[in-house]
Amino acid sequence: MPHDHHHHHVDPESGDRAVAAAVGVNVALTVAEIVGGLLSGSVALIADAVHNLSDAASLAIAWFARRIGRRPTDETMTFGYKRAELVAALINLTTLIIIGLYLVYEAVQRFFEPVEIVGWLMIWVSLFALVVDAVTAWLTYRLSKESVNIRAAFLHNVADALGSIAVIITGGLIVWLGWSWADPVATLLIAGYILWMALREIRGVIRTLMLGTPEGIEPDELLAEMERIEGVDSVHHLHVWQISEQVTSLEAHLVTGAGDLDTVNRLKSEMRAMLSDRFGISHVTLDTETPDAACGHPARIGA
């Protein structure tokens, strides 16, 4: 069923500043973790740094996409620029998958070629990372309610915090028990989570870009509800897709025996209200046909 479409919108300029600040603190954290990882010899710390760098890049691209997405429609882009954020999400998630695979490779290499690791340095840098993750989450929390990109970035920061905790535990195991193998194991766990998260999220982005039916909407149920409206004989050539996360569109052919234009307009108005209230579909295009002039052998969905 449809999602709640009532949002409390954050001021765009204020939101842009919050995202820019989040990018800045994540870049600072990435530099600190890479330096700490190189000095300590911890590939897990470098893995967490790479994940943070991907978050910073994701936020930077989302910031740029937010600004493009607010541009008005024009002769070239008659649907507007709202899909810029979807393109940004596809870029970010594809990069994240590549990074995850690279981290798996690095972790496996460490099993065969172990190096000496400075556990205490891992712990202190990861504690700093926890603080930065908390700041970033605070900066992006409100925006995460409105944008799929920012929401993904917010969840990434929560994951980063969990990754930092994993690295702290790993550092403790190395310092107190001498378990150097815990470092590549932690790296594999972080990489596995990155891959699982990216693969799960990229499906929805691809589905939207490919004009797939939005999740939560069942075409058969949608058709049944449309045909329950009094005066509608049947519905065919149904297309339903998302222009952006907030805008769902529908087009269809209605067959009706209504004999005058006022009745047809009433049917269309009633159907638009039902589609908006029941399914959250805000952009509706309806073509009407009489029973004796309807499409021959029409497809119910698509075509």
- DSSP letters for 161-186: HHHHHHHHHHHHHHHHH--TTHHHHH
- Dist CA 152 CA 131 (whole Å): 19
pLDDT digit string, tens, across residues 119-157 = 666 677 778 777 877 777 776 676 666 666 666 666 666
What pLDDT, on a 0 to 100 scale, did the predictor assign at position 239?
95
Question: pTM score > 0.75 for this model?
Answer: no
Q: Which residue is associated with the tokens 């050539």?
A: 237
- Dist CA 6 CA 145 (whole Å): 11
Element (H, E) at 292: none
Q: Nearest 5°: phi and psi at 121?
A: -65, -40
Is the C-alpha dihedral spanning 270, 271, 276, 282 positive or negative?
A: negative
Percentage of the chain beyond pLDDT 70 is 79
Contact, 103 vs 187, CB < 8 A?
yes
Residues pairing with 250 in the sheet: 240, 284
Q: Which residue is associated with the tokens 């069923």?
A: 1
Contact, 271 vs 252, CB < 8 A?
no
First to last CA, the chain: 24
| Ranges in the chain, pLDDT < 50 | 1-8, 10
**CA 88 from centroid of its chain's CA atoms:** 9
Percentage of the chain beyond pLDDT 90 is 20
Going by the DSSP 8-state scheme, the letter that residue 301 receives in this structure is B
Would strands 283-289 and 232-242 be described as parallel, antiparallel, or unpaired? Answer: unpaired
Would strands 232-242 and 248-256 be described as parallel, antiparallel, or unpaired? Answer: antiparallel
Which 3 state secondary structure label does DSSP give 253?
A: strand
- Dist CA 99 CA 58 (whole Å): 13
What pLDDT, on a 0 to 100 scale, did the predictor assign at position 6?
43
| Residue 51 identity | H
What pLDDT, on a 0 to 100 scale, did the predictor assign at position 3?
44
The full set of domains in the chain, from first to last, is 12-209 (1.20.1510.10), 219-293 (3.30.70.1350)
- Dist CA 71 CA 260 (whole Å): 40
Find, among 97, 240, 109, the residue nearest to 183 by Cα. 109
Contact, 158 vs 210, CB < 8 A?
no
What pLDDT, on a 0 to 100 scale, did the predictor assign at position 155?
65
Find, among 163, 171, 165, the residue nearest to 51 by Cα. 163
Find, among 94, 73, 98, 93, the residue nearest to 83 by Cα. 73
